[in-house]
Chain A
Amino acid sequence: MEEIIQHLTPLFKEISGYIYPNEIELHWSLLVVIYPYLTGLVAGAFILASLVKVFNVTALKPVYRISLLTALAFMLVAPLSLLAHLGHPEKSYEILLTPNLTSAMAMFGFVYMWYLMAVLLQEIWFDYRKDLILWAQKERGIKKWLYKCASLFSKDISEKALKFDDKAEKVITILGIPSAFVLHGYVGFIFGSVKANPFWSSVLMPIVFLFSAIVSGIALVLLIYMVVTPLRNKVMDTKCLDTLASFLFYAMIVDFSLEILDFIHRIYESEESIHILSELVAGKLQFSLIVVQLIIGMIIPLALIAGVKMFNTPVELKRLLYFVSALLVQVGIFFTRWNVVIGGQLFSKSFRGLTAYKMNILGIEGLLVSIAILLLPFLILYVLFKFLPPWGETHVTTQPESS
Chain B
Amino acid sequence: MKKNLPNKSQNVNRRKFIKNLVLAVTAFSVPAVLTAKEQLKRMQSWILGKDYNPFDHYWGMGIDINKCIGCGRCADACKQENDVPSEPFFFRTWVERYRIFHDGEVRVDSPNGAVDGFKKQNIEKGKVTIRSFFVPKICNHCDNPPCVQVCPVGATFITPDGVVLVDSDYCIGCRYCIQACPYGARYIDPIKKTAEKCTFCYHRVVQGLVPACVEVCPTQARVFGEVKKKASPLVRFMRMNKIGVLKPALNTEPKVYYANLDMEVN
Chain A residues in contact with chain B, CB under 8 A? 1, 4-5, 8, 18-25, 27-28, 85-89, 91-92, 94-95, 98-100, 102-106, 108, 190, 194-197, 345, 348-352
Contact = CB atoms under 8 A, between A and B. Distances in A.
Nearest to A348: B184
Contact of B194 (A27, A88, A92, A95): A88
Contact of B113 (A21, A190, A194): A21
Contacts of B218: none
Contacts of A87: 171-175, 188, 193-194
Nearest to A8: B89
Contacts of A351: 266
Contacts of A104: 150
Interface stretch (B8-16, B151-159, B223-231): B151-159
Closest 10 CB pairs of A and B: A87-B173, A20-B184, A87-B193, A196-B182, A100-B154, A18-B108, A105-B152, A106-B152, A27-B175, A94-B153
A105 B174 contact: yes
A98 B193 contact: no
Nearest to B98: A18
Nearest to A19: B184
A337 to B, nearest CB: 16
Given A4-B89, A92-B172, A197-B179, A21 B110 contact: yes
Contact of B175 (A28, A91, A100, A197): A28
Given A22-B184, A88-B172, A100-B151, A27 B110 contact: no
B146 A195 contact: yes
Nearest to A106: B152
Contacts of B202: none
21 contacts: A8-B87, A8-B89, A20-B94, A21-B88, A22-B185, A22-B186, A24-B89, A25-B89, A28-B175, A87-B171, A87-B173, A87-B194, A88-B193, A88-B194, A94-B172, A100-B151, A103-B176, A194-B180, A196-B180, A349-B182, A349-B183
A5, A21, A351: residue with the most chain B Cβ atoms closer than 10 Å: A21
B251 to A, nearest CB: 8
B133 interface: no
B91 interface: yes
A334 to B, nearest CB: 21
Contacts of A19: 184
B202 to A, nearest CB: 20
Nearest to B85: A1
Contacts of B110: 18, 21
B130 interface: no
B25 interface: no
A306 B112 CA distance: 55
A81 to B, nearest CB: 13
Contacts of B183: 20, 349
Contacts of A21: 88-89, 91, 94, 110, 112-113, 184
A52 B113 CA distance: 59
B91 A103 contact: no
Contacts of A8: 87, 89
A3 to B, nearest CB: 9
A22 B150 contact: no
A99 B153 contact: yes
Contacts of A25: 89, 187-188
Contacts of A106: 152-153
B170 A94 contact: yes
Given A22-B184, A98-B154, 15 more contacts: A4-B89, A22-B89, A24-B88, A86-B172, A87-B173, A87-B175, A87-B194, A88-B173, A94-B170, A102-B149, A103-B151, A103-B154, A104-B150, A108-B152, A349-B183
Contact of B172 (A18, A23, A95, A348): A95
Contacts of B85: 1
Nearest to A20: B184
Contacts of B149: 102-103
A27 B176 CA distance: 9
Contacts of B179: 27-28, 194, 196-197, 345
A86 B184 contact: no
A86 B149 CA distance: 19
B49 interface: no
Contacts of A190: 176
Given A18-B110, A28-B175, A350 B153 contact: no
Nearest to A350: B266
A223 to B, nearest CB: 32
Contacts of A350: 108, 184, 266
A101 to B, nearest CB: 9
Nearest to B88: A21
Contacts of B94: 20-21
Nearest to B191: A1
Contacts of A197: 179
A202 to B, nearest CB: 15
A102 B158 CA distance: 14
A393 B96 CA distance: 70
B181 A196 contact: yes
Given A8-B89, A22-B184, A100-B154, A196 B250 contact: yes
Nearest to B137: A20
B170 A195 contact: no
Contact of A86 (B96, B173, B186): B173
B85, B170, B178: residue with the most chain A Cβ atoms closer than 10 Å: B178
A387 to B, nearest CB: 34
Nearest to A2: B190
B194 to A, nearest CB: 6
Nearest to B154: A100
A28 B179 CA distance: 9
B59 interface: no
